[in-house]
A and B are shown apart, each in its own frame.
Chain A
């Protein structure tokens, strides 16, 4: 070997005269020259970069044939056998698939992830949006396609009720994603935004991987690593908390503990509610992540919380106009997932196991209305990537759930077990970079109603330009009826919704425009008859009534409308603003409705204007949010037309600011927010006193927010010197 090496200089000198000059040009598919492409002969030092016109010229001592290798950033490399000779060679390179030139299926999906791909909302947006109180679902309620329903809990998507949306963490359904609801008051979500690296919010037409949701799924993916290191303390008007994070090379642990009591806040902000036990809550969570191999990751997450609330709520049905409500909630949720991949990502596995337990000890007046649920769940999904660079893939999966429901209604105990299983299959196929088709099918079985269903889903997207694309989605979605109906009747069918969605979006230079129009058909909805022999009884507008009438699955309805979204992060440096407008027209014949009518949770027009800006000099982030929701229907017993009345329009202007500083040497974040700055007297709905034959005419009570203008202040202190903070976390 040494000898050969020594011979090289001689060889070089010897062959210099016998060199051949190779010339040619490297271009794209349209024939435009690619400057700076790398051209070489495999296994030799011979080669060069192309000049500004894409031309190359170099000499080689090789004879006869050689392997020419050409590469250029953003293009598929080209390898070809050439005959060494004087003739010019032209190499046309193919652009490689990337986020800009490859279509993605977007109908009905709003992605908010931290990855570098272009997204419309990032996790940081959740905590910096004014008027959302760092609550994930509140921010989703500012996205197109959603409704803001101030007096009810949940996600209301495109004419769907709060029960029609599911929250999914790492693929596992969360049984009780929200804190238990008190009468007429909206509850927050249980999960902290910082737990998640990505959020995908579907407003319809979603993947066959998910079921049991007629209108929407909110998919949350937990982070793979700690955000901080060491101990942190947070304190605000409602809550004190401790968190501890520690990471080693391949494992990390996070622990949190908190105690909250709204007394200090309520002492400062006038309340519209007659509280008898100011909301008080405590709990903790533990997260453990282990990198089991280069590709394997095990995550364990557990949380427990305990909360207590008491109030006298507006109840026109009672003599005094008020009824005492007391509730103690205990919630435990644990989930573990294992993900891995083999063959350089050809095979991907996602498996999970979770258990949740939730009990409410609830009393309305003197009556016991306790309830509880347990859910045990397993899930297994395998993805097979097919060859090619475009991301063609097949996905198979199955999931099994065993859910136990318990209710106590005025001394009567009900319980029900539903064993629910599903299998699903989905394929994603690219026909070139401009057209993608995702098609799938989901089969489900529910033991509670002893029925199967088979739901096909298909969506496709076509790239119409460099920055724009259109998508189309169709799917069938099934949901087992509300368990409270099933206590008395297990012959009900699945409730069903069919979605048809058409979407256009344009993303260019940090500006996003998106319009989506949809039609949803509802079928097999549960109808309840409180009169004898399946006849309608008097309508009971109490949203907390326990259904006791006879039921069948003959309800139906529709929702149609369109959503607009505009976001601009480019025009004014540092300013990020977005505007959404959602229009929905929806009618249903369901529950106790005597006729096809618009349900009380629908407002036809929803507008949100959100702006925020980071002021670097004072290290402060400020944001403003303005929302408008037009009136919702309410039941007026004095109006012969059912649900014909509308509440006034609800508007809200809110502000939030966060400031980064140091207390001593500890990094500190201070924040303050004002909700409903203009002190608008919003009304969410009206409740009527019951009509009595010899009594006065029914009168109405307004139901509004717990407080009008309110404010909130707090801070977080990092006790660890290593703590670092993202400006956007402010």
Chain B
């Protein structure tokens, strides 16, 4: 009986959730926000990224059942974590990335894309002060990557992150082109066939790794 109720409830949710949440207003707002986010040039200004993060946070504020606005807000804060000024400033952005990640995880607890975001945040934290943060954030990065791969083997994002991280790690620390290229090639293969789960679901990675692949034979 219990199982039946749960199944029914799940079916009901499954059937109604998209229509419930995805109002035309939401679709319009997400389309606008994603267009704005993807319009960024090679050297985006931090003000633009912050504005994009704000835009997603506003959508998240209006749509408390959607994890994607939180995801994209978090992603923008990760970019800011790489680009920001001082170490303290970078950490502040990454604190906000964590806030968005946590909010997204409460909406969608088992989600490969959020595991990717978690790994990405760890990588950004590590990069702020690699020499001193290796021990703490190295394993967190790896854990996020493994989690994402396990949840969805078809998702190219964990391979993109892992490959680019290895490329920037010196050979004597277990990185370098030899280690990175096989992973990056896997990422490319997965990108070629990957279909995002929904209209607004993430499907990034190509732009990040194309310049890196030139270093591979």
Residues in A lying within 8 Å of B, measured CB to CB? 1-2, 5, 8-9, 12, 35-38, 40, 42-45, 47-49, 52, 69, 71, 73-74, 98-100, 114-116, 122, 124, 225, 227, 614, 616, 619, 660-662, 667, 723-728
Given A2-B19, A49-B51, A122:B132 Cβ within 8 A: yes
Task: Find out whether the CB atom of A724 lies under 8 angstroms from the CB atom of B172.
Answer: no
What is the CA–CA distance of A470 and B6 in the complex, to the nearest angstrom?
Answer: 61
Stretch at the interface among B113-121, B134-142, B198-206, B209-217: B134-142
| CB <8 Å contact, A728 and B24 | no
B47 and A52 form a contact (CB under 8 A): yes
Which residues in B have their C-beta under 8 angstroms from that of A48? 54
Q: Which of B24, B129, B170 contacts A5 (CB 8 A)?
A: B24
| Contact assessment for A619 and B172 in the assembled complex, using a CB-CB cutoff below 8 Å | yes
- Contacts A1-B19, A116-B91, A724-B173 known; A36 to B50 CB distance under 8 Å? yes
Sample of 12 A–B contacts (CB below 8 Å) = A1-B19, A36-B47, A38-B54, A114-B132, A114-B136, A116-B91, A116-B133, A122-B132, A225-B139, A619-B170, A662-B172, A727-B131
B172 touching A660 by the CB < 8 A rule?
yes
**Are B131 and A726 within 8 A (Cβ)?**
yes
Q: Contact between B58 and A38 (Cβ–Cβ < 8 Å)?
A: yes
A411 CB, nearest partner CB in chain B, Å: 52
Q: Name A726's contact: one of B19, B62, B135 (CB within 8 Å).
A: B135
Known: A5-B23, A36-B47. A45 touches B58 (CB 8 A): yes
Could you tell me if A724 and B47 are in contact, using CB atoms closer than 8 angstroms?
A: no
CB contact between B51 and one of A36, A74, A227, A614 (< 8 Å): that residue:
A36
Q: Which of B24, B51, B55, B62 has a CB less than 8 Å from the CB of A43?
A: B62
Q: A38-B57, A40-B58, A116-B91 are in contact. Are A724 and B25 (CB under 8 A)?
A: no
- Chain B residues lying within 8 Å of A225, measured Cβ to Cβ, are 139
| Pairwise interchain contact A73-B172, C-beta atoms closer than 8 A | no
Tell me whether B107 is interfacial, beta carbon within 8 Å.
no
Asked if B131 contacts A73 (CB within 8 A), the reply is no
Q: Which chain B residues border A114 with CB–CB below 8 Å?
A: 132, 135-136
Q: Which residues of B contact A662 (CB under 8 A)?
A: 172
Q: A40-B61, A660-B172 in contact; A728/B19 too (CB < 8 A)?
A: no
A7 to chain B, nearest CB (A): 10
Alpha-carbon distance A340/B24, docked complex (angstroms):
46
Given A35-B47, A619-B170, A728-B132, do A1 and B54 touch, yes or no (CB 8 Å)?
no
B174 sits at the interface (CB 8 A): yes
- Given A9-B24, A38-B54, A44-B62: A660 touches B173 (CB 8 Å cut-off): yes
Chain B neighbourhood of A122, CB < 8 A: 132
B59 at the interface (CB under 8 A from A): yes
Q: Mark B25-39 against chain A: 1 for CB-CB distance below 8 A, else 0.
A: 100010000000000
Contacts of A45 in B (CB 8 A): 25, 29, 58-59, 62
Q: Would you call B96 an interface residue if the criterion is a C-beta within 8 Å of the partner chain's C-beta atoms?
A: yes
The reply to whether A36 and B54 form a contact with Cβ atoms under 8 Å apart is yes
- Judge whether A227 and B135 touch: CB under 8 Å: yes
Whether A727 and B173, one on each chain, are in contact in the complex, defined by CB atoms closer than 8 angstroms, is: yes
Q: Does B92 contact A (CB under 8 A)?
A: yes
What is the minimal beta-carbon distance from B90 to any residue of chain A, in angstroms?
Answer: 10
Known: A5-B19, A73-B92, A73-B93. Is A724-B132 also a contact (CB below 8 A)?
A: no
Any chain A CB within 8 A of the CB of B20?
yes
Output the nearest chain B residue to A9 by Cβ-Cβ distance: B24
Interface centre among A49, A225, A662 (most CB of B within 10 A): A49
> Given known contacts A36-B50, A45-B58, what 4 new A-B pairs fall within 8 Å (CB)?
A9-B24, A36-B54, A614-B131, A726-B131
Q: By the criterion CB–CB under 8 Å, are B58 and A47 in contact? A: yes
B88 interface residue (CB < 8 Å to A): yes
**Which single member of B16, B54, B92 contacts A74 (CB below 8 Å)?**
B92
Chain A nearest CB from B33 CB (Å) reads 10
State whether A73 touches B91 (Cβ < 8 A): no
Report A-chain residues with C-beta under 8 Å of the C-beta of B133.
116
Q: Point out the residues of chain A lying under 8 angstroms from B59, CB to CB.
A: 45
Most buried by A among B24, B133, B135: B135
Q: Name the distance in Å between A300's Cβ and chain B's nearest Cβ.
A: 21
- CA separation between A45 and B50, bound complex, in Å? 17
Q: Which residues of B contact A74 (CB under 8 A)?
A: 92
Q: Which of B19, B57, B59, B129 has the most CB of A within 10 A?
A: B57
Which residues from B are CB-within-8-Å of A99?
88
Give Cα A44–Cα B63 distance, bound, in whole angstroms: 9
User: Do B88 and A42 touch across chains, with their CB atoms under 8 A apart?
Assistant: no
Chain B residues with Cβ under 8 A from A723's Cβ? Answer: 174
Q: Is A728 a contact of B139 with CB atoms below 8 Å?
A: no
A114 to B135, CA, bound (A): 9
**Is the pair A49, B54 in contact by a Cβ cutoff of 8 Å?**
yes
> B61 contacts which chain A residues (CB < 8 A)?
40, 42-43, 47, 69
Q: How far is the CA of A351 from the CA of B174 in the complex (A)?
A: 39
Q: Name the A residues within 8 Å of B16 (CB-CB).
A: 1
Residues of B within 8 A of A36 (CB): 47, 50-51, 54
Complex: chain A residue closest to B95, CB-CB: A73
Among B25, B55, B172, the residue within 8 A (CB) of A661 is: B172
User: In residues 129-177 of chain B, which contact A (Cβ within 8 Å)?
Assistant: 129, 131-136, 138-139, 170, 172-174
Given known A2-B19, A616-B170, contact A8–B58 (CB-CB < 8 A): no
In whole Å, how far is A512's beta carbon from the nearest beta carbon of chain B? 15
Q: Which residues of A contact B51 (CB under 8 A)?
A: 36, 49
Tell me, in angstroms, the Cα distance from A535 to B131 when the chains sit together.
Answer: 61
CB of A728 within 8 A of CB of B172, answer: no
Query: Can you name the residue of chain A whose Cβ is closest to the Cβ of B84?
Result: A73
Question: In the assembled complex, which residues on chain B have CB atoms less than 8 Å from the CB atom of A116?
Answer: 91, 125, 128-129, 133
- Asked whether, in the complex, the Cβ of A8 is within 8 Å of the Cβ of B132, the reply is no
Complex: chain A residue closest to B128, CB-CB: A116
Q: Contacts of A1 on B, CB cut-off 8 Å?
A: 16, 19-20
B79-99 CB mask vs A (1 if < 8 Å, else 0) is 000000000100111001000
For residue A730, give the distance in angstroms from its CB to the closest CB of chain B: 10
Chain B residues in 8 Å Cβ range of A614? 131
| Bound form: Cα–Cα A594–B19 in Å | 92
CB–CB B131/A728 < 8 A: yes
A100-B88 in contact (CB<8A)? yes
Nearest chain A CB to B57 CB, angstrom units: 6
CA distance A40 to B61 in the complex (A): 9
Contacts of A37 in B (CB 8 A): 54
- Find chain A residues with CB under 8 A from B93 CB: 73
- A59 to B: closest C-beta gap in Å: 14
Q: Known contacts being A1-B19, A52-B47, is A73 close to B96, with CB within 8 Å?
A: yes
Closest-by-CB residue of B relative to A12 is: B25
A225 to B61, CA, bound (A): 36
Bound CA–CA A47/B56 (angstroms): 11
Q: Give, as a whole number of angstroms, the nearest-CB distance from A618 to chain B.
A: 10
How far, in angstroms, from A581 to B183 measured CA to CA in the complex?
52
Residue of A nearest to B20 (CB): A1
Picked from A8, A44, A661, the residue with its CB within 8 Å of the CB of B23 is A8
**Residue of chain B at shortest CB distance from A194:** B135
Q: How far, in Å, is B107 (CB) from chain A's closest CB?
A: 17
Q: Across the interface, which residues of A come within 8 angstroms of B24, CB to CB?
A: 5, 8-9
- A residues in contact with B29, CB < 8 Å: 45
Q: Roughly how many angstroms separate A726 CA and B20 CA in the complex, as a whole number?
A: 49
**Smallest CB separation, A380 vs chain B (Å):** 28
Within the complex, the shortest CB–CB distance from B17 to chain A, in Å, comes to 11
